[in-house]
Structure 1
Amino acid sequence: MNFSLLSTMLLAFALSSVCLFIAGHAQQVSGNATVSALFAFGDSILDTGNNNNLRTQSKCNFFPYGRDFTGGKATGRCGNGRIFSDIIAEGLSIKTLLPAYRDPNLSNNDLPTGVCFASVGSGLDERTAKLQGVVWVPDQVKDFNEYVTKLNGVVGSQEKSNAVLSNAVYLISAGNNDLAITFSTGRTRYTISAYADLLVTWTDNLIKSLYDMGARKFGVMGTLPLGCLPGARNVAGNYLKICSNLVNQGADLFNKKLSEKLNNLETTLPGAKFAYVDMYNPLLNLINNPQASGFIDVADGCCCMPTSPVPCLDAARYVFWDFAHPSEKSYQTIAPKIIEELKEKLA
């Protein structure tokens, strides 16, 4: 992450990854339905390391990131351990780690079982990505198109490749950075309602682009409660570190518009299935009732903030790892219900 921009950005997210599973190794989801792979697109909630070799400060491949990851290695994931895309991949019985597509060490063996295209700090708005020099969401689709060509060579035929694509789950996390950076810092003159409509339109375009390439199962994530992120709570003058209701209202408005759009898409895209992934309310519940899940701090990140220059000893006690990203424990706490909903709606 670009910590020098913290006071003006509030937060930065990377959207991102989508995984695939070759049909011959497809995993049972519900009844006779199978998931061949998981693909993740979008921002840092899903990015597993695509920014590592980019000329950008929006990256997480340095200590203390990855402190609780296997081997204590900073992989480019914006968290203390595994992140949401990894946990969803495991929950769908695909694999425990979702590799980054731009990892120079990516193995061909990983291609049929899923990769991540997300990029820390990215968004649906081109200005969001350009500001930080990261991979804009439509450019992630270009990476996906390149991936499909490679997949054809690995699995040996277009028919097998199509089976992977059509039975994969496409996980999308976008809008966080657009609202928290581009909109909140005045880089657009739209009202919040008009900008939310524009973000939904861009999401619709993204989904249709993937649909035209063979995608059929979509898990589309809403934004986090952006006004309650530590970066938003700790802006100058907010000495009580209270949530910004105004920022949360904007995030909630976008989420409602997005959910409504997804409800209508199945009638316009034959054979497609959609699941709206609510990130806002589950995280807000952790923030409002932390003790129930064993958390003690909801206002500060465990690390990487002026309020926590030295990382905390136990990230599992914190809802947030840094100024914008949930801890691994938070993801693990909210994921089970989400995974069951994905299985039910995308079966």
Structure 2
Amino acid sequence: MTQSYTRAQTLPALLAQRIAILDGAMGTMIQRFKLSEAQYRGEGYTGPDAQYARFKDFHKDVKGNNELLSLTRPDVIRDIHERYLAAGADLIETNTFGATTIAQADYDMADLAREMNLRSAQIARAACDKYSTPDKPRYVVGALGPTPKTASISPDVNDPGARNVDFEQLRAAYYEQVQALVEGGADVLMVETIFDTLNAKAALFAIDEYFAASGERLPLIISGTVTDASGRILSGQTVTAFWHSVRHAQPLAVGLNCALGATLMRPYIQELARVAGDTFISCYPNAGLPNPMSDTGFDETPDVTSRLLHEFAAEGLVNIVGGCCGTTPEHIAAIGQAVSDQHARAVSAGPFYREAA
């Protein structure tokens, strides 16, 4: 029996009526705070949920573990969410890109993954509730990143059959993440920055497994990453092949993010919009190419990125737009303004759209 959506029930109608705005980069904004190792451990934060003492003597450096900040510096994560919401974002992603046991093992913090996801979702939930109005509801998007390991590609050039992670390890890690994100208040789940379709399939399997166990179904967004001018994701699939590999999950939206700026991403978004006619399309590119001399580390200013995404909207390609690496609340505000007078991409009344509706 088909399950109906229990959260974000108004989102499909919103996507059919207008282009929704996703937030921008979390990492870029965290870098602006220039936090020290001690601050990553929680020094200087005196809120009621301060956890500095818990990590003060942790045996390994944790600077750069952005997901830990949901525990040690929730004020920073809250501030970033609220800046994006104030800029007009309809959807904000949780600070959980690397909050799996697999990714956190690099910091010897795998045992904290569930707590990171739960707390991150709660922080985003509170921010969305603060900014939501009857006319402009805000949605928490539970972010599931790709993990730093790949199930399809050998880490050893001398042993093509070698793998440093398998499907079952990925499935278990993603299941824990999904469970905590939903418990923490996520409205939507997003499997994002997909460079290996097998990793994504493990995430989608875990999500479906959780939906079956919980009796609850949340809208799903799937976002792949075309890594270069070959038009393929890292594990070798074209955009069309990628879509046919994941369409069984019946996502509310499918799209592309990261790796490329909007200019280079355009032909692949066009291809995806053509083949996924019964599914909403999302697009959140980087702010152009990396530029260490820039304030954000990327080339494009808000006016450039917003102009490019306006062109996508005018061409009828997108239903959700936002930003990935190098984008800021200023980018998101400009993007929102640039697409405000454009119609959302028309979606045929196919099985996924009917399911979402």
- TM-score band by shorter chain is 0.3 to 0.5
What TM-score comes out, normalization by structure 2 length? 0.39
What TM-score comes out, normalization by structure 1 length? 0.40
